[in-house]
Structure 1
């Protein structure tokens, strides 16, 4: 049996409007030695039917239908099913450029990489924004990763996520993933990419960055749960911070303690910034609860101000001194996702 080179893993949940665009962009790749694993994660619309229709037309497409368990569990299912040498994760409302996999495979095979990453375009119905990372392009050895990327493995000092935050712009060596037990934390339902990406880069012995190659198209929906406050999201953030402490807190190669605190600060700023402005009293009480959380209080012990704009510094000071009412009336930009 000849195995595919790439396994493309796509969690699917209620995306009947976008799923064709996503799958067709993969089928139209210039590199055709692939399999596509569609994981219908309890969809209640026609997404499951669309998945089955694709599987009937193309033997490279496999479908599983399951009860909804969210994206982390779906991606883990895909990893366990994958037969390819490499794995790629695509979100079902996004799409990729035709040359993406060919260009990535060329570099992966040339350098024998654990992972490779490209850039992406953030798109909505009425705008397009090219996104790149503030690191150099090209090949990174293990020593290069330690010297250049460990300092932003979890969080940049200026309150931005690490380079690997968007797992969907990466191609991973499957053996590398399995040998290091790099699965997603299935009880974390928001920002799961950040923890997974940090672990991946920590273990990687080789990495390549295709900087300014915008092969991935990320569909931005301003009304999605990613951009609005809910308590479950805050709880996921708290879990991520605790897992970071457990995983990286005693690392011998590098002291990640500062980054873990900056990460917690980012989550705090982002969560407060996503509160709806309508119900002022409820908003103030909720902000106050977040400011008073033990993890938020703990991060300010022996904590120096990060390199951020002055408005963000004001916001950080208001959080430190738990001044929820003042915070509520300030117009302070939240960190970017």
Structure 2
């Protein structure tokens, strides 16, 4: 008999966090699930930990593969999943015991394509409750078009990522497969923004469990996820271009402003991450200048309408517009020449 939920967890060199993540699934109040652990070429003890869990619980399946990154691992999960619903959880994060119970209950009650909860952003010494600036409860297809298309790709204020963060969602697996929704495997950073925008665009309905903080997102500002590298910038550019192409071809809604805000969001992300790159002031300034001079960044400012942001953010945006790399390096990143 097929499980109700397939929980997909890509695993790569997370031996310090993996027990916490898997234990949080096994300790759910709802127990009708399978866990698919995709060991993506780990070179630490993560693979062995996965095998130990699988030996102890026959609901756990382990796939060992050469490293192909998180998008490919999640696609493996979509192909292998047997559940009615699918959940994607990052291996350094963990979830509250009632997460699956509450989300499955609502999904079954209302025949949902997608349901989303809130999350806590946790570091070693801090915790923030994160909630999206949209209303909670049920959205029909008409509600999605009228209320969520305007923030489908990007919120105007630039301080939060797109509406859908995949790891706080439960997806109807049949819905994903019928709409051929999958992750772009050549995108290795922020990949869920592209997937989530497409999924919500196609959804016939959606439910937001606002105020239910079931997911714990572990934030490490010095991790590779939050530090700058050229491949990450390349992923940002690909995401924006593919969003532009996808919604230009299929949409009845004008997403042009959101696409500009999305590109600006990625630009600000990349520039901010340079602070943790370990480079000296001159190297940082070159990285900043390369980003600011990119043609796609310049395109943002053609007939540009300022988003609803603070005056400090507007000053930062003006530095980008006028390519003030040295000023940004000194004032925003607080670096000095050696």
> Could you tell me whether the CA contact under 8 Å between 1:195 and 1:244 is conserved in 2?
yes
Q: Secondary structure at the match of 1:154?
A: coil
Q: Deviations over 1:128-154 (max 9, x none)?
A: 111111111100000000111000000
In 2, the alpha carbon distance for the partners of 1:215 and 1:195 equals 23
> Could you tell me whether the CA contact under 8 Å between 2:275 and 2:333 is conserved in 1?
no
Q: Secondary structure at the match of 2:157?
A: coil
Partner residue, 1:265 = 264
> Could you tell me whether the CA contact under 8 Å between 1:312 and 1:332 is conserved in 2?
no
Cα distance, 1:107 vs structure 2: 0.5
Cα distance, 1:251 vs structure 2: 3.6
In 2, the alpha carbon distance for the partners of 1:76 and 1:251 equals 23
Q: Secondary structure at the match of 1:259?
A: helix
Q: Deviations over 1:62-108 (max 9, x none)?
A: 01000011110000001100000000001111111111111111100
In 2, the alpha carbon distance for the partners of 1:163 and 1:197 equals 8
Residue correspondence of structure 1 range 199-278 to structure 2 within 5 A: 199-276=198-275
Q: Deviations over 1:283-316 (max 9, x none)?
A: 2222111111110111111111111111111111
Cα distance change on mapping 1:252 and 1:15 into 2, 3 Å: closer
Q: Secondary structure at the match of 2:167?
A: helix
In 2, the alpha carbon distance for the partners of 1:289 and 1:14 equals 31
Cα distance, 1:115 vs structure 2: 0.7
> Could you tell me whether the CA contact under 8 Å between 1:88 and 1:168 is conserved in 2?
yes
Q: 66-75 or 298-307: which moved more?
A: 298-307
In 1, the alpha carbon distance for the partners of 2:268 and 2:253 equals 26
| RMSD between aligned residues | 1.3
Partner residue, 2:178 = 179
- Give the TM-score taking structure 2 as reference length: 0.95
In 2, the alpha carbon distance for the partners of 1:327 and 1:54 equals 48
Greater than 6 Å deviation, 4+ residue runs: none
Partner residue, 1:27 = 26
Cα distance, 1:276 vs structure 2: 3.1
> Could you tell me whether the CA contact under 8 Å between 1:315 and 1:332 is conserved in 2?
no
Q: Deviations over 1:134-178 (max 9, x none)?
A: 1111000000001110000000011132220x2111000000000
Cα distance, 1:317 vs structure 2: 1.2
Partner residue, 1:162 = 162
> Could you tell me whether the CA contact under 8 Å between 1:311 and 1:332 is conserved in 2?
no
Cα distance, 1:332 vs structure 2: 6.8
Partner residue, 1:124 = 123
Cα distance, 1:252 vs structure 2: 3.6
Partner residue, 1:64 = 63
In 2, the alpha carbon distance for the partners of 1:95 and 1:273 equals 26
Cα distance, 1:18 vs structure 2: 1.1
Partner residue, 2:312 = 311
Q: Secondary structure at the match of 2:274?
A: coil
Partner residue, 1:97 = 96
In 1, the alpha carbon distance for the partners of 2:93 and 2:269 equals 24
Partner residue, 2:298 = 297
How many residue pairs get matched?
331
Q: Deviations over 1:207-247 (max 9, x none)?
A: 10001101111111121112211111100000001101110
In 2, the alpha carbon distance for the partners of 1:162 and 1:64 equals 30
Partner residue, 2:331 = 330
Partner residue, 1:284 = 285
> Could you tell me whether the CA contact under 8 Å between 2:240 and 2:262 is conserved in 1?
yes
